[in-house]
Structure 1
Amino acid sequence: MTFRRLTAACGAVLLSFAALSAVAAEAPSRWVTAWATALQPIPQQADLPPLYRAPDVAGRTVRQIVYPTLSGSVARLHVSNEYGRSPLVIEGMRIARSAAGAAARPGTEVRVTFAGKASVTVPAGAEIDSDPVRVDIDGGAPYAISGYMGGEQRMVAWHRVANQVNYVSTPGDRTGDAAGDAFREHFTQYAWVTGLAVEAPSAGAIAAIGDSITDGMRSSLNQNRRWPDVLARRLVDSGDRSTAVVNLGISGNRLLSDSRCYGDALVHRFDRDVLQRPGVQTVVLLIGINDINFAAMSPRTGLDCDAPHMAVTANDLIDGYREVIAAAHRHGLRIFGATLTPASLPPQRESIRQAVNKWIRTGHAFDGVVDFAEALRDPAAPERLRRAYDSGDHIHPSDAGYAAMAAAIPLTAVVRAPAK
């Protein structure tokens, strides 16, 4: 463990001791992650491109809209200051059923506390769970999580491609506002709140982790058309209301290389983003196309998000997959490997994709295979996406393509039998 992580862990233990003691009094209980997102640092330098400029949140209320995929009557929120260089200060927080836009449904708001207090200070690098809160969570419905931020607070980490409009208010504590009038600024990222778990003793979660194709890049804004969203709806339609699906994709993410813009390499973030999530039983892993592509990207002056431009082989990626598989198995999780989808690659890079996919299909290292490549390929040109499934950039699926991916997942294979 690095010094930074050791310091953060100690801070988190000290911060949450009282909260954990309160929860222990209610044991035994079973928490299952119903919604989650993965954070990435915001590059810290002058003259950032507009896509990397965070909103001003100091002394304002940030309202974020989330869609839990599992129902429950007791919930808790997970708050992270993983990439912070100074304490994260939240003066107050509430959760309510979301109405249209920034509005909340009147009479549904519930105060969220931390160790019995309305405010919380999370040390740099640390994470904390809220106290359990009694609130009716209806899987598939939207909820507004409103945090009144400290007067000096800055946003230094986020989940950049949320495909969800969130809101920042005018100055002041607006956590109890049902109307959305004070929330005049919009942003399309998530920040600080990285998980919502419910008490669900007989339930479990599927963690979808990977890059932009799991993140849902170029899917419809505010429509929940990413493939994990569609999978969650498939499960409900099949009669399964005890399996959550959580999306831990990060656009631009790689299996083997960290990025200033696109987050820690998946081999480095897998523990935090999957193994530490309560209730996860199964993992669907789709990662590697950026490792193949970014070596060919031209270096940029200033902010070079694609650095390091490291060339990889199929064997490099296979070694990385084996590392993730071993970590999942050590924690008793099943992990399914998803084939890399067509991306109109030039021949040398396409040969790496094909070699990786052959190993995923035939190597028997994963507990099962999800053949996304087969589901999306153009039968006349397998290196390309089928036209109806192409969002237009020849890499990312359209809404129809994401739906086809969800349809390709064998439900009976990925769902673990309920705990007894």
Structure 2
Amino acid sequence: MNIPALLFAAILAFATVLPASGPAQAAPVWQAIWTTPLQSVPDLANPPGLYAKPEVAGRTVRQILYPDLDGREARLHLSNRYGSQPLVVERATLARSDGAGGLTAGKIAAVTFGGRAGLTLPPGAEADSDPIALPVVRDRALAVSLTLGPRQTMQAWHRIANRVNFISIPGDHAATASAADFRGRTTHYAWITQLSVPSTGTGSLVAIGDSITDGLRSTFGARHSWPEDLARRAAAEGLPPLAVLNAGISGNRLLSDSPCYGERLIGRFDHDAAMLPGVRAVILLIGINDIDFAATPPRRGLDCDAPHTQVAANDLIDGYKRVIEDAHRRGLRIFGGTLTPAALPPAREALRESVNQWIRHGGGFDGVVDFDAALRDPRHPARLLPAYNSGDGIHPSDAGYAAMAKAVPLTRLRDILSHP
């Protein structure tokens, strides 16, 4: 008996009855198309009204997101980065939103984490959801509904969402389409820090900074921060859709942490910008609060501007260099935004001008976005042009934010984002 021949024949016969296997399905490469950074909630027994935590225990919190790109499916990222207690999510859904607390007709997609409906995140932990079988359409509102554990509190938030999110009456209302059970209102985001879709091939842009990137004092609910205006500008000019991720935090500083305004930018840059999936470029606008808060008087109780650190131009420049180094280490291009007029007294105005001189001509950044030139009054360069002033002398109006978006070298950015 020819054993090798019989063995070969048996192997051949066995192979013919197995179905031909196709190529392995590659896991998607994800790209962030919406983000918001978190900041700690001041832990006080009797906080001022602006810092009072909404009641969320055993309720469903419904948050409204506007994606910048289309996608055949989606993924959420949840964070307990600044929490001191576990984050317990009992159920989560993703659906199309009517923008006012209710869901539009259509699919309400269950969100799972490792195949499970619930999620418990220890303090400091974060997690991605499983892929969610719900197509995402650019600029169409989505509702993320999280039913929280019976002892859950809000320990971190993005305090100024500049739009309304919704809190239900007690119970699990994650799959409830009607807004009737969502009687609570909040102007915060919480827990959700990213929405991603499979990569489009064109990278995302992160705008990171303080309240002027956050969009403070733009028309409430109208989505007129300069990053949102920039995404609309790209569409209006017939360019491919652009994901502009807003990582601004109102009150944030480059060099100092705050009890209210979040971790200093040099500390949060990697997490909130450089490590977002699919990011290829950054626009940095930060420093005016470092200059200004040194002179604000200390407050009793909750002093959000503490520490009142004096800074010199070289302090800020050294901070920019650290961020630039971090960006380049991650393979990102980084553009420096000049500090905008803020009607500062002479000594602080001289500091702002000195910093802007380095941003424009110091050679550290890969490019410059001259927001100062776009917004200043030619007759009074230390001040905003009246048409661009929201009324406080510091924050732009809607027209001012549109002018900032127009100042961004969009064609150059598109080249960078399309050719890593």
Give runs of aligned pairs for residues 297-316 of structure 1, distance below 5 A: 297-316=296-315
Flag the 1:419–1:381 CA change in 2: closer, same or farther, 3 A: closer
Report if the CA contact (8 A) 1:95-1:145 is conserved.
yes
Matched letter for residue 29 of structure 1: P
Flag the 1:398–1:299 CA change in 2: closer, same or farther, 3 A: same
2:217 maps to 1:218: yes
Report if the CA contact (8 A) 2:281-2:417 is conserved.
no
Q: Give distance in 1, aligned partners of 2:419 and 2:136.
A: 21
Percent of residue pairs bearing the same amino acid type? 56
| Cα shift at 1:146 | 0.4
2:360 maps to 1:353: no
What is the Cα-based RMSD across aligned positions, in Å?
1.1
Partner of 1:9 in structure 2? none
Partner of 1:379 in structure 2? 378
Partner of 1:102 in structure 2? 101
2:123 maps to 1:124: yes
Partner of 1:141 in structure 2? 140
Q: Give distance in 2, aligned partners of 1:26 and 1:303.
A: 53
Query: TM-score scaled to structure 1, two decimals?
Result: 0.93
Q: Give distance in 2, aligned partners of 1:224 and 1:48.
A: 29
2:418 maps to 1:418: yes
| Cα shift at 1:156 | 0.7
Q: Give distance in 2, aligned partners of 1:219 and 1:243.
A: 21
Flag the 1:300–1:417 CA change in 2: closer, same or farther, 3 A: closer
Q: Give distance in 2, aligned partners of 1:72 and 1:285.
A: 27
| Cα shift at 1:118 | 0.5
Partner of 1:93 in structure 2? 92
Report if the CA contact (8 A) 2:227-2:405 is conserved.
yes
3-state DSSP of counterpart to 2:69: coil
2:142 maps to 1:158: no
Give runs of aligned pairs for residues 339-350 of structure 1, distance below 5 A: 339-350=338-349
Q: Deviations over 1:36-76 (max 9, x none)?
A: 00000000012200000111000000000011101101110
Partner of 2:235 in structure 1? 236
Q: Give distance in 2, aligned partners of 1:224 and 1:194.
A: 18
Partner of 2:6 in structure 1? none
| Cα shift at 1:141 | 1.3
Q: Give distance in 2, aligned partners of 1:46 and 1:124.
A: 21
Report if the CA contact (8 A) 2:205-2:417 is conserved.
no
| Cα shift at 1:417 | 4.7
Q: Give distance in 2, aligned partners of 1:278 and 1:265.
A: 22
Matched letter for residue 397 of structure 2: S
Partner of 1:295 in structure 2? 294
Flag the 1:190–1:390 CA change in 2: closer, same or farther, 3 A: same
Report if the CA contact (8 A) 2:94-2:143 is conserved.
yes
Q: Give distance in 2, aligned partners of 1:96 and 1:115.
A: 20
2:324 maps to 1:325: yes
| Cα shift at 1:418 | 2.5
3-state DSSP of counterpart to 1:137: coil
Q: Give distance in 1, aligned partners of 2:401 and 2:48.
A: 29
Partner of 1:365 in structure 2? 364
Q: Give distance in 2, aligned partners of 1:205 and 1:100.
A: 25
Q: Give distance in 2, aligned partners of 1:240 and 1:378.
A: 31
2:407 maps to 1:408: yes
Matched letter for residue 344 of structure 2: L
Q: Give distance in 1, aligned partners of 2:131 and 2:275.
A: 18
Q: Give distance in 2, aligned partners of 1:128 and 1:28.
A: 17
Aligned length: 396
Partner of 2:336 in structure 1? 337
Q: Give distance in 1, aligned partners of 2:313 and 2:395.
A: 22
Partner of 1:4 in structure 2? none
Give runs of aligned pairs for residues 242-253 of structure 1, distance below 5 A: 242-253=241-252
3-state DSSP of counterpart to 1:35: strand
Higher Cα radius of gyration: 2
My pick for the range that moved more, 332-341 or 103-112, is 103-112
Give runs of aligned pairs for residues 18-97 of structure 1, distance below 5 A: 26-97=25-96
My pick for the range that moved more, 238-247 or 86-95, is 238-247
Report if the CA contact (8 A) 1:202-1:242 is conserved.
no
Partner of 1:187 in structure 2? 186
Report if the CA contact (8 A) 1:201-1:419 is conserved.
no
Q: Give distance in 2, aligned partners of 1:27 and 1:333.
A: 25
Matched letter for residue 136 of structure 2: I
My pick for the range that moved more, 107-116 or 302-311, is 107-116
Structure 2 spans left out of the alignment, 5+ residues: 1-23
Q: Give distance in 2, aligned partners of 1:94 and 1:391.
A: 37
Q: Give distance in 2, aligned partners of 1:215 and 1:100.
A: 20
Matched letter for residue 196 of structure 1: L
My pick for the range that moved more, 94-103 or 324-333, is 94-103
Partner of 1:19 in structure 2? none
Q: Give distance in 2, aligned partners of 1:72 and 1:111.
A: 17
Q: Give distance in 2, aligned partners of 1:165 and 1:244.
A: 22
Structure 1 spans left out of the alignment, 5+ residues: 1-24
Q: Give distance in 1, aligned partners of 2:124 and 2:176.
A: 31
Report if the CA contact (8 A) 2:280-2:417 is conserved.
no
Report if the CA contact (8 A) 2:231-2:241 is conserved.
no
| Cα shift at 1:413 | 1.6
Q: Give distance in 1, aligned partners of 2:59 and 2:403.
A: 41
Q: Give distance in 2, aligned partners of 1:190 and 1:367.
A: 32
Q: Give distance in 2, aligned partners of 1:417 and 1:112.
A: 30
| Cα shift at 1:301 | 1.0
Report if the CA contact (8 A) 1:204-1:242 is conserved.
no
Report if the CA contact (8 A) 1:208-1:214 is conserved.
yes
Q: Give distance in 1, aligned partners of 2:417 and 2:381.
A: 35
Q: Which runs of 4+ in 1 moved over 3 A?
A: none
